Structure 1
Amino acid sequence: MLKYTRHSLKKLESLMGELEYTVRYEKGNFNSGYCIVENKKIAVINKFFDVEGRMNCLLDILQNLEFEAEQLSEVSQKLLKKIEQSDNNDDDEEEEEPEENTQDNEQEEVTSSGEE
């Protein structure tokens, strides 16, 4: 998992640069917090976002882009693998959570019905 620091943000920005995307921070009405101009390879991110918000936007953009990892530098390839691994770990955790929640809900129902 990447830590939400300015250093990590700079790494993501350089990764986008290697993919020939320009990252700009501007104000605007973005439903998702960012906008991508496909023809010019520009990613515009809400300038009022903090570091965490900016990083989440860049991570979301990276997940939706199609590119070959071989075109990236070795450092960026390692960063990309780290991001993909953390995404896989997050997916595993999300799959486990609903099971726990259903058990909690069942316990609440039992408690509720017992009180009536």
Structure 2
Amino acid sequence: MGVKYTKSYLDKIENLFSQSAYHLRYEKGNFKSGYCILKSTRVVIVNKYFTLEGKINALLDIIKELQLNPKSFEDKKAQEFLIELQQTELKL
């Protein structure tokens, strides 16, 4: 599956975080990678000044790093979407 850089695609990814144990926030910050993961408090912070493409790429990186379990999601569509995202390779 290819990555789509649209607002609705970003909304779908954000919806995954709302269903997970992690809380997603957009804030300003000087993060070298563009995001910060606070695993002990289960908070993910993404630079709010990123472009749409930057936010999507950062969230995809975070999903791969967190290794979320699709079975922990109750919604079947969310499970399938997460599996697709985990198989997606970003090409720069």
Q: Which ranges of 4 or more aligned residues in structure 1 deviate by more than 4 Å?
A: none
Q: Which structure 2 residue ranges, 5 or more long, are not aligned?
A: none
TM-score (ref. length: structure 2): 0.86
By how many angstroms is 1:10 displaced?
A: 0.8
In our comparison, the structure showing a higher alpha carbon Rg is 1
Rounded to whole Å, the distance in 2 between the matches of 1:39 and 1:52 is 28
CA RMSD of aligned residues (A): 1.9
- Greater relative contact order (Cα < 8 A, sep 6+): 2
Of 66, 73, 83, 1:81 maps to 83
Q: Deviations over 1:67-87 (max 9, x none)?
A: 321111211112122223432
TM-score (ref. length: structure 1): 0.69
Rounded to whole Å, the distance in 2 between the matches of 1:6 and 1:39 is 30
Rounded to whole Å, the distance in 1 between the matches of 2:68 and 2:27 is 25
Q: Which structure 1 residue ranges, 5 or more long, are not aligned?
A: 92-116
